């Protein structure tokens, strides 16, 4: 049975923990709003980019001269798995569920006899993956978007990916991140980056424009610029989604933690009061029985 | 708005401009081109330069863009710019400082990739200076 003093210190410590978690929840909520705004602001660019790419790919489809970023290397022996997680913890199952998704994918690829390389964005994912696949990790990047996530961050990642692709270090590249649905649900998503999968089919894009485009300079040159750019845009979008998801997950986790701390304080206060009353009663009994004995 | 063209300027971070205007002059990779309503569908890359937005009988907006793409259809003109800054917001002294610090880091940079990236940034900054 803990003493009264022990109860008091327990309650004080849980209270200060609760203060921290509720402050973190507040901060996460504010950051979440900003992250969501940013994700929405970036949407028009990504949409127009994929529309443009769709019409270009449509006019090139079937051509043997399609660049490797679009058509792939024709093999699927070596896979690069990019895992985007956060640098910080205390955000519920956010990081572990991304890592779990990635790990399952890597295991499946390995069992199919493929080679796998892993590139980690974010400290938490790297730490968790290092336990199982330390030999497969080819690189990692931290402090992405520490202050605020910018397109340059995405470009840095893309540059690394493109460098490796140009050096022929992998054939297929996919990206793991958590898509933001709400503060409560985040969906772990796998997106194939290389070769690029065009959404909605190529035929539709030319039909939407109603006419065939002219190209200036020519299609190959535009594609050569557009494809790496599109890669950065996809990575950027994934990072933004991830950022929003992280804040959402943290907000929910911290909300739960605050509530749990509240429950704990209630329980502890109850036991404390009971103990206090018990000791008062005990003292009274002692006084009364002492008085009676005289 | 029978004779207007829908102009949209988007950078990766946000939508900068979206409205219907009389004409836009876009700095294409192979020369500037003006877009009026009914322009033939075109996709072009951009070079460093300034987009002139003509509206209500004059130039209403001038925006500096660095690299990107323009997509033109009969009704609209969409510019996806890597960097976009309104010319009025270009600050001469700030850009000169930027060029100086970039030159300094170029002098100590090692590795071709880093040097190339710095040189590209200097080129962008110098182009900005020309319009500031």
Residue B66's CATH number: 2.60.15.10
**Domain boundaries in chain A?**
4-23+253-293, 36-251
Cα B91 from chain centroid (whole Å): 16
Q: Do B69 and A225 touch (CB under 8 A)?
A: yes
**Nearest CB neighbour to A52, from listed B8, B15, B43:** B43
Selecting from B30, B41, B80 the residue whose C-beta is nearest the C-beta of A209 gives: B41
Asked if B84 and B126 sit in the same domain, the reply is: no
Pair (B82, B21) in one structural domain: yes
The more confident residue out of B24 and A223 is: B24
What is the structure's pLDDT at A205? 42
Shared-domain flag, residues B100 and B40: no
**Total residues found in chain B within this entry:** 132
Query: What is the ipTM, given to two decimal places?
Result: 0.76
- Tell me, which fold does domain A4-23+253-293 have in CATH? Helix Hairpins (1.10.287)
Q: Which residues of A touch B45 (CB under 8 A)?
A: 216-217, 221-222, 225
Q: Is B131 on the interface with A (CB under 8 A)?
A: no
Task: Report the pLDDT value the prediction gives residue B76, as an integer from 0 to 100.
Answer: 86
Q: Note down the domain range covering B12.
A: 5-88
Q: Which of A42, A215, A226 sits opposite B12 (nearest CB)?
A: A42
- Looking at CATH, the fold of the domain delimited by A36-251 is given as Pyruvate Kinase; Chain: A, domain 1 (3.40.1380)
Write down the pLDDT at residue A268: 96
B76 and B116 belong to one structural domain:
no
Same domain for B120 and B66, yes or no, is no
More confident residue, B118 or A246: A246
Q: Which of A91, A98, A120, A253 is catalytic?
A: A91
Q: Is residue B80 located within the same domain as residue B104? A: no
| pLDDT score of A279 | 93
3-state SS assignment for residue A92: coil
- Clarify whether residues B58 and B82 are in a common domain: yes
Query: Is-catalytic flag, A120?
Result: no
**Structural contact between residues A205 and A186, judged by C-beta atoms closer than 8 angstroms:** no
Which chain B residues have a beta carbon less than 8 Å from that of A155? Answer: none
Subunit contact A214:B41, Cβ cutoff 8 A? yes
Regarding whether B110 and B77 lie in a shared domain, the answer is no
Map A37-73 to HEC letters.
Answer: HHHHHHHHHHHHHHHHHHHHHHHHCCCCCCCHHHHCC
Whether the CB-CB separation of B69 and B44 falls below 8 Å is answered with yes
Per-residue pLDDT of chain A (294 residues; tens, 9 = 90+): 788 999 999 999 999 999 999 999 999 999 999 999 988 888 888 888 887 877 777 666 555 556 777 777 778 889 999 999 999 888 989 999 999 999 999 999 999 999 999 999 999 999 999 998 988 999 888 877 777 788 888 888 998 899 898 888 888 999 999 999 888 899 999 988 888 766 544 444 444 444 577 887 887 788 888 888 888 888 998 999 999 999 999 999 999 999 999 999 999 999 999 999 999 999 999 999 999 998
């Amino acid at each position: 049975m803990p003493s009264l003093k022990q109860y008091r210190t327990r309650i004080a410590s849980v209270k200060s923990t609760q203060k921290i978690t509720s402050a973190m929840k507040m901060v996460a909520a504010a950051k979440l709003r900003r992250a969501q705004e940013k994700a929405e602001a970036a949407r028009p660019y990504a949409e127009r980019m994929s529309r443009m790419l769709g019409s270009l790919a449509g006019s090139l489809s079937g051509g043997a001269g399609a660049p490797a970023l679009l058509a792939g290397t024709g093999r699927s022996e070596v896979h690069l798995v990019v895992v985007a997680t956060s640098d910080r913890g205390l955000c519920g199952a956010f990081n572990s569920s991304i890592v779990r998704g990635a790990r399952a994918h890597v295991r499946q690829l390995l069992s199919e006899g493929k080679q796998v390389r892993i590139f980690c964005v974010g400290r938490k994912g790297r730490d968790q993956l290092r336990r199982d696949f330390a030999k497969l990790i080819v690189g990692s990047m931290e402090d992405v978007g520490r202050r605020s996530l910018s397109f340059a961050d995405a470009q840095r990642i893309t540059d690394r990916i493109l460098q490796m692709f140009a050096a022929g270090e992998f054939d297929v590249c996919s990206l793991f991140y958590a898509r933001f649905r709400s503060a409560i649900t985040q969906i772990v998503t796998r997106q194939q980056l290389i070769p690029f999968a065009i959404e909605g089919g190529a035929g539709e894009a030319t039909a939407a424009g109603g006419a065939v485009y002219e190209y200036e300079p020519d299609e190959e040159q535009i594609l050569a610029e557009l494809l790496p750019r599109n890669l950065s845009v996809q990575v950027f979008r994934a990072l933004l989604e991830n950022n929003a998801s992280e804040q959402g997950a943290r907000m929910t986790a911290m909300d739960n933690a605050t509530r749990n701390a509240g429950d704990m304080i209630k329980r502890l206060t109850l036991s404390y009061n009971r103990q206090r009353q018990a000791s008062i009663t005990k003292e009274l009994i002692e006084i009364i029985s002492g008085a009676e004995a005289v | 708005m029978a004779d207007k063209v829908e102009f949209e300027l988007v950078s990766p971070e946000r939508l900068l401009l979206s409205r219907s205007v009389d004409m836009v002059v876009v700095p294409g990779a192979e020369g500037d081109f003006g877009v009026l309503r009914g322009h033939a569908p075109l996709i072009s890359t951009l070079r460093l330069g300034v987009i002139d937005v003509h509206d209500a009988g004059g130039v209403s907006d001038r925006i500096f863009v660095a690299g990107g793409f323009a997509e033109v259809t009969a009704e609209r003109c969409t510019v996806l710019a890597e960097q976009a800054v309104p010319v009025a917001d270009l600050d001469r002294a700030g850009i000169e400082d930027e060029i100086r610090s970039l030159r300094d880091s170029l002098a100590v940079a090692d590795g071709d990739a880093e040097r190339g990236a710095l040189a590209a940034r200097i080129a962008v900054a110098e182009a900005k200076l020309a319009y500031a």
